[in-house]
Structure 1
Amino acid sequence: MCRWLAYSGSPILLAELLYKPEHSLIDQSMHARLGVGTTNGDGFGVGWYTPGGNPEPTLFRGTGPAWGDENLRELAYSVRSGLFLAHIRASTGTPVQQTNCHPFRHGRWLWLHNGRIRDYPRLKRTLTMAVDPGLFPYIGGSTDSELMFYLALTFGLERDPVGAVERMVGWVEHAGRRAGVDNPVQMTVATSDGERLWAFRYSTEHNSRSLYCSTAVDTLRCMYPENPVLQRVADSTRIVVSEPLGGLVGAWQPVAESSYGLVTRDFDVVGPFRPAQHPDPAAPTPALADLTRL
């Protein structure tokens, strides 16, 4: 599968999380411990928001292994951001090409995903036909991950992020039932509009891929008063990761199964994730206008 991280907090160099930690994202590209496989070498990407700059995020993506890309290293040691998403890819069958590398971008929004839609080739046409025709031209690649993003946008991501992802997942599960596909959804997802960060952990079989969130900074300062990094970052700083970046005891908390989290500069929210219930699989497929009201 894949590994990813999402950071929200005090502006830092991307290298602080991509390269410097003991079990950094670059290390995970070669030695993942909690993924399906240990190697994630089918491309990489990072998307970041520039403080005081363009509200739309910048993307840097490549098709080679992250561990050997010198341009990524140069960029990571020169770019600073307070909100960024990074991803290392292990393909589940779609081609290794730049347009299939995460994160995906539409306007102010970034999206990345670990997991898969089971039997995606069987479901692809049905799912694609549910994408808003006005959004369809922006789909650049062939992955299930990007299609999930555009389905979420279709179902209202920009207005109601949690509800939109619940409707998207419910629709994928509905399509899976109609096609006889068991347990169609496996996902951890991060998405952001540049101000807020959402993370989701869910699978139809309720056995989702690993996901962790950093412990509150003020708590960690009390536990490790001599740690200089903890003294430099704001209390609101949070990191969401597929795997812990190091072995600091108490620094990482597992994200609960079937849940979502919202991180802002002022507060955090954690809640249950409940996919929308779409019509019985024996019923006719509803029109798009009906789906967006669910």
Structure 2
Amino acid sequence: MCRWLAYSGEPLKPAELILDTKHSLVAQSLNSPLGNETVNGDGFGLGWYGGDPVQGATPSLFHSIEPAWHDENLRELTNAISSPLFFGHVRAAAGPPIQQSNCHPFRYENWLFMHNGFLDGFAKTKRELAFAVDPSLYPLIHGTTDSEVLFYLALTEGLQDDPIGGLGRAIRRVEEEGRKAGIEYPMQGTVAVSDGRTLWAFRYSTAHKSRTLFHSTAIPELRELYPDAARLDVFGAKAKVVVSEPLTDIPGAFVELEESTVAILDDDGYRHQDFLREAA
């Protein structure tokens, strides 16, 4: 459906990952070997936090319906800013129209959210899921994607206080409404969420056959393995990236996240936790 990446660590120009790596996000928008769609050219988005974010800081957004490989503004912007935490997303539309309000990432206050996948049979459950969103949040849904509804449903379910539990409860609601409508596997995808300090990356699907998701190995470990790799010099010791598919062919540079797992990335590094492994 799409490809995405999320970076956390020392301030970095997004172009280093979005444009300049061998299998960069823009390269994946043209040719995605591990994706369900080879080309992801139906718009893109960038979300980033300031150079020294504080808890509660509002991230900035840039969305475009241009193919990522064709947009000069993306090159200018990703080389001009430096951010300790940013999201990038390239879209392959699967129903909802190509328009800026349908481009990821989505933002609410200090939170960013993006999704690769779909809610199967969304046309049959859209009304129930949208009306389950808190009335104070419902007017903030500007686009027509299932992903944005999932985000606001997760906010309704307590995402801000409990990101893992909030998204888990939202997905269970999706599965409940889907099964009422006769949909066997309502949820598919990988999700990234951040409050500007911590990054949560989820891999889950009802069928337990989720889209691919990887995160980088710790930079100090990579420097020990590859002391002559000049490419690593641009990254600080705390640099971490989560990606739909690896950005490089270097053996050991990326670790695949297991099915029904959330990776939690912060200043202490990364850790994994089971996510919705129990039967629905």
* TM score, norm. by length of structure 1: 0.92
CA RMSD in angstroms comes to 1.4
What's the counterpart of residue 199 of structure 1?
201
Q: 5 Å matches for 1:149-228?
A: 149-228=151-230
* 2:28 aligned residue: 28
* Equivalences for residues 102-181 of structure 1 within 5 A: 102-181=104-183
Q: Which runs of 5+ in 1 are unaligned?
A: 279-294
* 1:272 equivalent among 266, 271, 274: 274
Gap regions ≥5 residues in structure 2: none
SS in 1 for 2:10: strand
Give the secondary-structure state (helix, strand or coil) at the position aligned to 2:80.
coil
Q: 1:254 aligns with which of 243, 253, 256?
A: 256
1:236 Cα shift? 2.2
Residue 243 of structure 1 aligns to a residue whose secondary structure is: coil
1:173-231 CA-partner distances (Å, limit 9, x unpaired)? 00011111110100100010001100000000000001011011121111001123434
Please report how far the alpha carbon of residue 269 of structure 1 lies from its aligned counterpart in structure 2 after TM superposition: 2.2
Residue 283 (structure 1) aligns with: none
* Paired residues for 1:41-80 under 5 Å: 41-52=41-52, 55-80=57-82
- CA-CA distance at 1:268 after TM superposition: 2.0
For the residue of structure 2 that corresponds to 1:191, the secondary structure is strand
Alpha-carbon separation, structure 1, partners of 2:146 and 2:95 = 10
Q: How many residues align?
A: 278
Contact 1:13 1:79 in 2 (8 A): yes
Tell me the TM-score normalized by structure 2. 0.96
**In 2, Cα distance between the equivalents of 1:208 and 1:277?**
16
Q: Is the 8 A contact 2:260 2:277 kept in 1?
A: no
Q: Aligned with 1:77: secondary structure?
A: helix
TM superposition shift of 1:9:
0.8
The structure with more radius of gyration: 1
- Identical-residue share of aligned pairs (%): 49
CA contact (8 A) 2:8 2:84 kept: yes
1:127 partner letter: L
Once the two structures are TM-superposed, the CA of residue 52 in structure 1 deviates from its matched residue by 3.0
Question: Following the alignment from structure 2 to structure 1, what is the Cα–Cα distance between the partners of residues 268 and 150?
Answer: 29
Cα distance change on mapping 1:182 and 1:45 into 2, 3 Å: same
